[in-house]
Structure 1
Amino acid sequence: MSATTSPAGSIPGATKDMRVARALGSRRHRINTLIKVACIAATALGLLLLASILFTLLWRGVAGLSLSVFTNSTKSPGSNGGLLNAIVGSLIQTALGTVIGTPIGLMVGTYLAEYGRGSLLANAVRFVSDVLLSAPSILIGLFIYQLLVEPFGGFSGIAGCLALAVIVIPIVVRTTEDMLGLIPSTLREAVIGLGAPKWKMIVLICYRAAKEGIATGILLAVARIAGETAPLLFTSLGNLNWSVSLGQPMASLPVTIYQYAGSAFDDWVQLAWVGALLITFGVLAINISARVLLRRTK
């Protein structure tokens, strides 16, 4: 004989289970809705703050835009000064900092991804790089100050370039290692199997496969150092006069904004807003370019 279950005995238990399931489903739905509303509110708040910053920069900065901003150097209050020397100084220091820091970061990242996997030295280098990546930029400025400014008795543009290069290095290291790590091992094995040396495999295959990602990391590093103020206060200091000599104090937009923003003179405050607007849209353009490259990489 086959055992049968009484319908009368199973219905109360099934009904209870259904009630419990409905209660749990309703509770999960309420929690999900609450978290969703909180996320949307946080997103809206972030967008509102960002929009208010951009609106304030446009409102206060566009009013001061003129040809003299790009043709005149910084001058004394009331002298119709501009930001030419600060713009050129920022471009020089940012470009040289990137040129110095990028090859070092690229080679260190290549070592971590291709040569030192799992080794004690690679783990130590990776740890130091991560610490340097999160270190406050003012500490890097103080380090370069003790290394190059105080022993040589003066601030200089080259000290500012080196401070920015130190900031660039860990960003490029992390990006290079991550991008090279995404390349399949089978691709490396195929190239090695054809008889190519490892260095040629890295340069001709791995770098080509990861070039968009590495370029994205470099652009992000440029965006990071373009607005740095603290390291330059301890290294290149700033200069109200026109100077492109790396052995002398050199002007820069972040330092000029820092000096002018707290001034009691209206024309200097206006120039500070204009400088902030230029840096913001410059960094915004760099970040958009980096994200476009990253999207192509994905």
Structure 2
Amino acid sequence: MTTISPPVSAPGRSTDLRGRSLPALAVLGIAVAALAVAAAVVYGTGIGGAVLVIALGLVLHLIGTYAASSAVEGRRKARNRVWTTLVYSAFVLAALPLVSVVWTLLSKGLDRFDGNFFQTSMNNIGPRDPNGGAYHAIVGTLEQVGIATLITVPIGLLCAIYLVEYGRGRFAFAIRFFVDVMTGIPSIVAGLFILAFWVLIVSPHLTGTGRPGFSGFGAALALSVLMLPLVVRSSEEMLRLVPAPLREGAYALGVPKWKTILRIVLPTALPGIVTGVMLAIARAAGETAPVLLVAGASAAINLNPFENNQASLSVFVYQQAGEASKYSPARAWTAALTLVGLVLILTIAAKLLSRRNRLSR
């Protein structure tokens, strides 16, 4: 009977399939030591502050981690640890400005986050009056952005569908070219265009007064000019990501092209389209220059977007930040927090609605 003996391992070679690993406490200790050495060097020589300490500590941490990991785990895992640390560091570096903005808004914007701020306007409010709110500006922002969205989304979505499903030749190339050009135009140019076209030419003839027609609707038109290229480009990219076999399967079943677009392509691309629309809304809600040009500024409540001046939250922040009153900065910060909160609420609601519609299908 023949017996098979187990293979004999080479001298000095471990038979354990799992290699040695650098303990987590060792990595933490290297990080603490790197920060300590960096602090000693920076503050000892007086060449910088906390930012330089963190930057130098990161470099020392990478060097120490690579050396320790090479000795324990090998060069391959050492390089992996170094690149992993760089990726996490880049994420933290990118998140720091966002966290700083959110913290600043919350710390300074909650001072006037009360009922008076959301229920009153700045009408008859003097520089020594601590009251006064942004009710008129909130109403103006909601109406202007809402009208701009109603104008822009159908036009932008239909334009994107044409470019993806039907557009060929020079005409489609010209549309893409002008959309790309419109993406980079300054907001003040959009405001000047609506001022010259709508406020100074069209509105005087419509009203019959012969006077320039400053209104919230004019601001909505200017915002729609800024939103349109964003909606078109984002929708176009999302429609292009829809797999071709979905279209081909519908065509093979005899489904018309318009119904394939309506029932298959658009629902598949809906989450991405909603994201692009919300980015356009966020940009429009924060614009100040075009609203100042075509809607002016008003301290009173104006619920009619088609007549007279109408304020917005961005204009309100701009005005309050420049007022010579000790109560104005608090109003400006609270208005900025309100604007961010409105955009956040709209984004969450749109995401939930698109997700629900997608699941229901």
2:175 to 125, 130, 136: 125
What is the CA-CA distance between 1:254 and the residue it aligns to? 0.3
In the alignment, residue 129 of structure 1 is paired with which amino acid?
V
What is the match of residue 137 of structure 1?
187
What is the CA-CA distance between 1:268 and the residue it aligns to? 2.3
Secondary structure at the counterpart of residue 260 of structure 2: helix
Question: Is 1:242 matched with 2:293?
Answer: no
Question: In 1, distance between residues paired with 2:239 and 2:248?
Answer: 14
Is the Cα contact below 8 Å between 2:112 and 2:331 reproduced in 1?
yes
In structure 2, relative to structure 1, the CA distance for the partners of 1:111 and 1:261 (3 Å cut) is same
What is the match of residue 207 of structure 2?
none
2:292 to 211, 233, 257: 233
Question: In 2, distance between residues paired with 1:134 and 1:290?
Answer: 26
Task: Please show how residues 107-186 of structure 1 align to structure 2 within 5 Å.
Answer: 107-116=158-167, 118-151=168-201, 152=204, 153-186=212-245
Is the Cα contact below 8 Å between 2:149 and 2:281 reproduced in 1?
yes
What is the match of residue 71 of structure 1?
119
Task: Please show how residues 54-93 of structure 1 align to structure 2 within 5 Å.
Answer: 54-75=102-123, 76-77=125-126, 78-79=128-129, 80-93=131-144
In structure 2, relative to structure 1, the CA distance for the partners of 1:47 and 1:195 (3 Å cut) is closer
Is the Cα contact below 8 Å between 2:145 and 2:281 reproduced in 1?
yes
What is the CA-CA distance between 1:41 and the residue it aligns to? 4.8
Question: In 1, distance between residues paired with 2:354 and 2:310?
Answer: 34
Secondary structure at the counterpart of residue 110 of structure 2: helix
In the alignment, residue 99 of structure 2 is paired with which amino acid?
A
Q: Describe the superposition over 1:25-51 as per-residue Cα deviations: whole angstroms up to 9, x where unpaired.
A: 97xx78x94x77666555434433322
Q: Describe the superposition over 1:160-187 as per-residue Cα deviations: whole angstroms up to 9, x where unpaired.
A: 0111111221121112211221222232
Is the Cα contact below 8 Å between 2:271 and 2:351 reproduced in 1?
no
What is the match of residue 96 of structure 1?
147
What is the match of residue 218 of structure 1?
277
2:318 to 258, 264, 270: 258
Question: In 2, distance between residues paired with 1:272 and 1:98?
Answer: 25
What is the match of residue 8 of structure 1?
none
What is the CA-CA distance between 1:142 and the residue it aligns to? 1.4
In the alignment, residue 266 of structure 1 is paired with which amino acid?
K
For structure 1, list consecutive stretches of 5 or more residues without a partner in the other structure.
1-21
What is the CA-CA distance between 1:86 and the residue it aligns to? 0.5
In structure 2, relative to structure 1, the CA distance for the partners of 1:200 and 1:41 (3 Å cut) is closer
Question: In 2, distance between residues paired with 1:134 and 1:36?
Answer: 36
Instruction: Provide the aligned C-alpha RMSD in A.
Output: 2.8
Question: In 2, distance between residues paired with 1:221 and 1:66?
Answer: 29
What is the CA-CA distance between 1:221 and the residue it aligns to? 1.6
What is the match of residue 274 of structure 1?
334
In the alignment, residue 130 of structure 1 is paired with which amino acid?
D
TM-score (norm 2): 0.68
In structure 2, relative to structure 1, the CA distance for the partners of 1:36 and 1:193 (3 Å cut) is closer
What is the match of residue 248 of structure 2?
189
Q: Describe the superposition over 1:185-208 as per-residue Cα deviations: whole angstroms up to 9, x where unpaired.
A: 232223223333222221122122
TM-score (norm 1): 0.81
| Larger helix percent | 1
Is the Cα contact below 8 Å between 1:213 and 1:294 reproduced in 2?
no
In structure 2, relative to structure 1, the CA distance for the partners of 1:225 and 1:255 (3 Å cut) is same
In the alignment, residue 50 of structure 1 is paired with which amino acid?
L
Question: In 1, distance between residues paired with 2:143 and 2:161?
Answer: 27
In structure 2, relative to structure 1, the CA distance for the partners of 1:206 and 1:258 (3 Å cut) is same
Is the Cα contact below 8 Å between 1:216 and 1:293 reproduced in 2?
no
What is the CA-CA distance between 1:291 and the residue it aligns to? 7.0
Secondary structure at the counterpart of residue 91 of structure 1: helix
For structure 2, list consecutive stretches of 5 or more residues without a partner in the other structure.
1-69, 205-211
Question: In 2, distance between residues paired with 1:200 and 1:251?
Answer: 42
In the alignment, residue 331 of structure 2 is paired with which amino acid?
L
What is the match of residue 203 of structure 1?
262
Based on CA coordinates, which of the two structures has the bigger radius of gyration? 2
What is the CA-CA distance between 1:269 and the residue it aligns to? 2.2
In the alignment, residue 339 of structure 2 is paired with which amino acid?
I
Secondary structure at the counterpart of residue 330 of structure 2: helix
Deviates more, 1:212-221 or 1:66-75: 212-221
